Amino acid sequence: MSAAKKRLKTLYKRTSLREKLLTLAFILVVLFLWGNNWLSRLSEWNDNRKFTASELEFQQKTLERGPEFDEGLKRALARVDPSKTYAATQLSGRIDSLLRNAGLSGQADIDSVRTREGEIFNDHNLRVQLDRISIDQLINFNALLKEDTPYINIQSVRISANRRSPEELDVRFEINSFDLKEPSL
């Protein structure tokens, strides 16, 4: 036997039963923790594999439907006149003009336009806060906004009664517009 094996054998013979059991328990706990960690990593890997497989399947189906999406885009673009779409500054100016036409420019607070750029079009969002307006003014402004549909859309409207005079309204509009990028047409 080699010297290392002899030393291990003499060490094993010198230890008591209690020490042998404690060593065995220590080794079993370490193996259990290692195995548990290994199984959790294996489970995480399997979950990631399944997610990736489903994501790739979805992307493949989307790519297969590419011609269908292109045809739908062409039909949608045929219904939109690029000269009537609003860039960010044009949207802000148009909303200001509509507010003046409705007689609400003094009661309006217009936030700056937030723009999200895309490949085919830029998406513009604008928040307008109207304070202390009547229901008739709200209806009139809403009708003016609808005249520019589909180029200007109302995403959301939040209406609340004014705290000082309940017959007046505080209204917050989230307005959306887009402008087409000419090279994509």
Average pLDDT over residues 77-93: 84
pLDDT band at 11 (very low <50, low <70, confident <90, very high): confident
What global pTM score does this model have?
Answer: 0.59
pLDDT for 185 beyond 50: no
Q: Domain ranges in the chain?
A: 3-63+71-75, 84-180
Of 85, 75, 54, the closest CA to residue 152 belongs to 85
C-beta of residue 136 within 8 angstroms of C-beta of residue 129? no
**Parallel, antiparallel or unpaired: strands 108-110 and 114-117:** unpaired
Q: Which two tokens stand for residue 165?
A: 């005079």
**Which helix H or strand E contains 116, and what residues bound it?**
strand 114-117
Lowest mean pLDDT among 9-23, 24-38, 73-87: 73-87
- Quick one: which of 114, 113, 101 has its CA closest to 147? 101
Query: What would the pLDDT profile of 46-62 be if each residue is shown by its tens digit?
Result: 999 999 999 999 999 99
Under the banding of pLDDT at 50, 70 and 90, the label for residue 37 is very high
| Assigned fold of 84-180 | Alpha-Beta Plaits (3.30.70)
Calculate the alpha carbon distances from 174 to 41, 54, 117 in Å: 46, 36, 18
Query: How far, in whole angstroms, is CA 5 from its chain's centroid?
Result: 64
Interval 167-184 mean pLDDT: 85
pLDDT in tens, 62-72: 999 999 988 98
